[in-house]
Each structure stands twice: as structure tokens, then as C-alpha cells.
Amino acid sequence: MKRRNFLRLSFFLAFLIFVFPLQSQERYRKSPPFPEPLDELKFPKIESFALSNGLGVTVARREGLPLLSLQLVIMAGESHSPEKFPGLATFTAKMMTKGAMELSSSRIEEIIESIGGNLSVSTFLDYSVFTFSFLEEYLDEALEVLSKMILLPTFPRREMDNEKRTLFYELRRKGNDPEFIAQNQLFRILFRDHPYLKGAFTEEPIKNISHRDVLAFYDQYYVPNNAHLVLVGNLNLPTAVRKVSHYLNTWKNKKIESQFIPIPEPSKNEKICLVDLPQAEDSTIYIGNVIFPKKSQDFFPFIVLNQVLGGTTNSRLFMNLRESKGYAYFAFSEINLFKRSGVFLIKAKVRPEVVNSSVRECFREIEKIIKEEITSFEIEQAKSYLIGNFPLQIETFESFCSRIAEAQAFALGNEFWNNYYENIMLINSEKVFEIAQKYPLLTPVIIIVADKAKIMEHLIDFKEIEIYNSRGELQYIQKIGVDE
């Protein structure tokens, strides 16, 4: 008996010896390999210097490409536009490239293209930024044309009319986009009576902007002590300072009357607004509330929270509303942060008949974040996403330049992005749980952009709904099921 067993065993062993090598070759294919240790993110040195006229200059060295990326930040955003001309900051920034002493707008375009350049302008709530990239051998030419545009703009009337028309139609076109409407409406409600309200400007006031308004805005804010220039590429701080100073030291500084921007209060009661967009096929939901400004201790725990809740297609909102319930085309959450405040929002595009259930599910997910501590597995997964994805966001010179400019505009310090990895690593379940309690996430403003006729009957959870048109004007307040 024993012997037979042994025999069998030896057969088995022989069989193993024969088969095992074949199997073992492929065994590593069965499951995903473990990651190796992650290399440190070596951030290039970021150095700053201030010229005698107050203009800040920051340089970060990046090698490998014969290109330079430049950003000029002017601390004049939509919050600085006058009350009667929301949009003036945007319009003025656009006009800066449309004519300078001796240079027509066509000539400016030609000069920029001659140096392999590309120039664009964006305006945010707190600042405007000129983004200019070009071949590195033309730094002088680039600074020369930039200095002419910034120091000696002519704001030609014909170009102003052109630009007004362009901006007007651009805004009108965007005015049909449900997401644009929803975001603007959310900001209008959250920032009512606040300078940030001007960020949600519409096309109508653009028509009335005069040459004088643009000139006055330019005079007030386009001064070197209100500006910062960032350069990224293969150059050092002394060279950059010398060249920038050569072209921009005649830019006269001036005392600017800093405008006090109060800190807006978050919404304390849940409120729902329906923006009627007849013929809209789907319903767009935005749910948001005021949180903290860009410079804040709460930034890191909150971005981890956001990641778990709705940062990607693997996050809770997307998994619930799209993958599990099949309500939504998409469902995400995001954070928009500014100098004095910020907004946390959930956005989803859903089928009209499930709009009520979708809002309910969004609230359920927020509640879960507030009431139950997130497992450390989920926290670690969110962190590994944030850490893994970050270098992808700063890969091009332009995107890296934007990050530095942003850190300057919000006075975050040159070390901010350098410490990004470490700061994320420090976040754990308790810190996220703590931050979830701190802000009134459960009393947000709810915006729904949809065809009213399609969805009104489905909105059964709400007693009082404010009805708006797509330009943000209140039409009436609908009360449902209130007997007394």
C-alpha cells in the first residue's frame, strides 16, 4: 500500500517536473504585477525677483526643448470689473493684443508668428493672464512686442468693435450650453451681492463698453506693482531679470487702490433653482456650496475627499449614478478655488425622468461622506490617483508655467507644488472625515437646467422651486403641494 502510494507520488512528481516549467513561465500573467517604489518628483528650482518698479519675475528652469513659455499675470480679474460693466476685465485683456504704438493688430500677429510664437489671453475672477510661448532664441523679440502691447496699447476703435462682436457672439453661443448656464446660475446664487458675481457676466453689457471704460480700467490695474511675469525654459534668473528689466523697466508703478473683497457666506439652507431651457434633451444638475479659498489648510484633505466622491470615473458618484443606477451620462464633483473663496460642486447630466432620484442619490453620497469615515483603502486609492496624475498635469512648459503663475497669483509660495506629494501623503481617513464636517455640504444650492415641461412633474421632493430663464432672470417661484 505504502509503496504504491510512493509510486503514485513519484509519477506525480515526474508529471510535475514535466509540466511545471511550462506553467511557471506564464504564471506571472495571472495577476497584475506589483508597482515598484515611486521615484521622487524632482521639481525644478523656482526663483523669484522683484524689479525696481515692482514687477515680479519668477523663473523655473526646464530643459530639453528650445522653447520658452511666458505668462504675465495682471491682478485684474472679473471681480475688479465695475458694477455696471461686468465683463470689462475680460474685454480689456482681449484688447491688449489688438494694437500698440506703431503696431496694428495684424502686425502684432505677424511678429508673434515670426518667432514661432503663440499668444492667448484668459481672465479669471481674480486675475488675467497673457500666455506667450515662442522659440527660445527670440526672447528679446518676444519681450519687445509684449512690452509694446502692455505699455503702449492703442485700443483702436475698429478693433474694439470687432472684439465686441466676437465676444458677444461667443457668449451668446455659450449661452445655449447647459453646463455653462448651470455653472453661471450656481455662481449667481452663491455669490449674490458679492464682487465674484461679475464672473457670471452675459453678452448684453458688452455692447455698451466704451473706449473710455477700457482706458480707465487699463490705467487703474495694468501697473507693474500689480503684475508678475513667469518664464519657463532653459534660462536662469539673472539672464531673465536682465532681459525683462531691459524691456519693462520703463513701465511706471503707481499706487493702486486695492479693492476689499469680503469673504462670502456659504448657503445655509437648501435651495433649488430650475433654469428653463426649452427643447433641452437631458437634464443638467449642478449642486454646490461655498467652501474655502485657494490658500487654505483645508486644500489637501478636501481634494482627497473630492477624489473619493467624484474626481474620476472610478469615484463614488460615477459608480453610483452611472454604472449602478444608469441614471447619468456622467456624474462628477470638482473644486473651483479663488483668492477669497471657493466653490465645491457636483455636476451630472441625467435623463429627465430620473432627475429627482439623481439629486437624491447625490445627497445620499454627500451624506455618506459626512457620516461614515471613508475606508483607508479608498483613501489610499484616491491618493495614488492624485499623486500619479499630478506629473501628467505639469508635463508641458505651458502647463508648468500656469501652475507657477497660479501660485504667484494666490500667494501660495514657490514651494507649494514642490510639497504637493508630501502633503497628499499626510492625508488619512480621519482628516478627510474632519473636513467633511467643517463645511455645510448638505445645504447647497441645486441648479437644474432642463426643459421645464419635461421635468416639472418629476421634481417631487421639492416644495418651492425658483424658475429662471437662461440669462439668469427670476421668472417666478413655483410652489408645489402646499395646501395652506
Partner 1 sequence: MVKLYHSKYKIFKSLLIIRITLLFLIIFSAQAQTQKDLPFPIYHFQLKNGLQVILSEDNSLPIVSVVIAYDVGSINEQQGKTGLAYLMENLMFQGSKNVSRMQHILYINRIGGTLNAITSEEKTIFLQTVPSNQLALVLWLESDRMKYLEIKESNVERVKDSLIEEIQHRKTSDPYLESSFAFDTLIYPNFAYSHPVIGSREDLREITIEDIKDFYSTYYVPNNAVLCVVGNIERKRTEELIRKYFESIPKGKEIPSSPSLEAAQKKSASETFEDSIASLPGFHLGYGVIPKHSGEFYSLSILNYVLLRGKSSRLHKRLFKRERIVFDYSGGIEKRKDFVAFKLFVLCNNEIMVERSLRAILSEFNRLKSTHLSESELTKSKNMFKVDYIRQYATSLERALFLTDAYLTHGTMDHLVSELNRYLEVSAIDIIGVINRYFTSDRRILLKIKIK
Residues contacting residue 247 through CB under 8 Å, at least 6 positions apart: 140, 143, 144, 146, 147
Residue 103 main-chain phi, psi, to 5 deg: -120, 120
Contact between 21 and partner 1 per CB under 8 A = no
Interface with partner 1 in residues 339-398 (CB under 8 A) = 381, 384-392, 394-397
Is residue 33 within the footprint of partner 1 (CB under 8 A)?
Answer: yes
Return the residue of 18, 40, 52, 476 that touches partner 1, per CB under 8 A. 40
Closer by beta carbon to partner 1, 38 or else 460: 38
What is the three-state SS of 356-405? HHHHHHHHHHHHHHHHCCCCHHHHHHHHHHHHHHHHHHCCCHHHHHHHHH
As a whole number of angstroms, the distance between CA 8 and CA 12 comes to 6
Of the candidates 132, 137, 100, which has an alpha carbon nearest to the alpha carbon of residue 119? Answer: 132
Residue closer to partner 1 by CB (options 253, 396) is 396
Residue type, 220: Q
326 binds partner 1 (CB under 8 A): no
- Say how many residues touch partner 1, by CB under 8 A: 54
Nearer to partner 1, 138 or 251 (CB): 138
* CB of 40 or CB of 484, closer to partner 1: 40
Sequence-separated (6 or more) residues with CB below 8 Å from residue 213: 82, 85, 88
Residue spans of alpha helices (H) in 152-273: 157-174, 178-190, 211-221, 237-248
Nearest CA among 221, 194, 200, 217 for reference residue 88: 217
Residues in contact with 14: Cβ distance below 8 Å, sequence separation at least 6, in sequence order: none
Span of 85-93, 312-320, 368-376, 472-480 interacting with partner 1 by CB under 8 A:
312-320
For the CB of residue 138, give the shortest distance to partner 1 in the complex, in Å: 8
Which residue, 67 or 275, has its beta carbon nearer to partner 1? Answer: 67
Return the residue of 2, 3, 30, 255 that touches partner 1, per CB under 8 A.
Answer: 30
Regarding 25 and contact with partner 1 (CB under 8 A), the answer is: yes
- Tell which one of 35, 212, 260, 473 touches partner 1 (CB under 8 A): 35
By the rule CB under 8 A, 235 interacts with partner 1: no
Task: Work out whether 114 is an interface residue with partner 1 (CB under 8 A).
Answer: yes
Question: Is 176 a binder of partner 1 (CB under 8 A)?
Answer: no
CB 317 within 8 A of CB 362: yes
When binding is defined by CB under 8 A, the residue of 10, 239, 259, 312 that contacts partner 1 is 312
Backbone angles phi, psi at 201, to 5 degrees: -75, 155
Instruction: Compare residues 16 and 38 and give the one whose CB is closer to partner 1.
Output: 38
Q: Which is nearer to partner 1, 262 or 388 (CB)?
A: 388
Query: Least distance (Å) from partner 1 to the CB of residue 303?
Result: 13
Residue of 174, 73, 185, 192 lying closest to 124 (CA atoms) = 73
Q: What is the DSSP secondary structure assignment for residue 137, as one 8-state letter?
A: G
Residue ranges in contact with partner 1 by CB under 8 A: 25-26, 28-42, 62-67, 106, 109-110, 113-118, 133-135, 312-314, 381, 384-392, 394-397, 421, 425
